[in-house]
Amino acid sequence: MTTITHLTSRLQRMKLSRPWAADVTSVGIIATHVECSDGSEGWGFSWTPQIGAEAVAQMLTHDIAPAAVGRDASPGAAWQGMWEHLHEAGGGGITTIALAGLDLALWDAAARRQGSPLSELLGQKRKRVRTYGSGVNLHYTEDELLSQVQRWIDAGFDAVKIKVGRPNLDEDVARVRAVRELLGPDRALMIDANQRWDVPRAVKSVRALEKFDPAWIEEPLRAENLAGHALLAQQISTPIAVGENLHTRQRFEEYVRAGAAQIVQPNIVRVGGITPFLAIADIARDSGVPVHPHLLPELSGQLAMTLAAVGEQEPMTEDVEDAGFAALGALADECPVDITDGWLTERPHAGIGIRFSPQLEKEMA
């Protein structure tokens, strides 16, 4: 059995060229490097925006790295035991975000041992993935928002997502109307409230916005409000999408079984890595719920290539404007994916193909 012999991690911050808010000007990357008893290596990462990166880094160094040594290095084999080991600090959140750093590195090592990209190791089902333009743009003026949407149109995207949840509903209606008019009837429009509403406000808002034919309403309520999402789903016709702030397979299963989500969007890092992401995708598929991975297209796109379609819905990936690792100059190697004309394809690479600059090596351990 090949075992884990060493895990190293390093925190670095990447400045966002387009701040997501006045207090969200960077994202935290905790780059990881795993060494295995057969001499193989793998690179992974944990990720979080403005909050929690230092806590994730400390958990990787003080709790995950020493507990991982000697465990089975096969992809997925160590995950459950490590999650149980960390559970005293919480079943999800900082614990699962940190655990992703180990899990991704182990999957990377496995694919590198095979000399293949991750998608080939998992079983590729398609050669390209539809991608939608996305932005953290609620603070934009209407003119700035429309300029952003026009950039997506010019770049060939046929689907875009914008933020809603202004204090005045009339502002949301005016902004969504203007975006729909610019997009025309044939491009898809998704809207994202980022957990800003309660149930009454969500019902009122979504009903006012449904005339603009949104493909989904994302995170209308606080992610913890399972009962509220189930109730809301009974009162609106727009599909509800959730997942970026759900952290465990168990939580996704509760949402799907309750009819509280018609689309799920697991963030591969926040749920703890590729191992739980695949389990969540299986739960959703078995219930007829489409999966569209949240953010991180450099990784999400590779996994979307391996997911089964649900009915006529193929998985999509999200490309936030000017927030990709390559665009931020963070990668040590060429980006493993390319997004052109609204479609994501892979470039030749091994493993997950994401190593951060400066590259984490054995001698840095």
Positions annotated as catalytic residues are 163, 294
Spatial distance between the Cα atoms of 301 and 317, rounded to a whole number of angstroms: 6
Cβ neighbours of residue 58 closer than 8 Å, sequence gap 6 or more: none
- Contact by Cβ (8 Å): 72, 3: yes
- Return the structure tokens found at 186: 């044939």
- Return the structure tokens found at 236: 């609106």
Long-range Cβ contacts of 117-121 (<8 Å, 24+ apart): 117/302, 117/336, 117/346, 117/348, 117/349, 117/350, 117/351, 117/352, 117/353, 118/274, 118/302, 118/303, 118/351, 118/352, 118/353, 119/302, 119/303, 119/305, 119/306, 119/346, 121/75
- Return the structure tokens found at 159: 């689907």
Point out which residues pair with 129 in neighbouring strands: 344
Point out which residues pair with 160 in neighbouring strands: 133, 189
Is residue 240 classed as helix, strand or coil in its secondary structure? strand
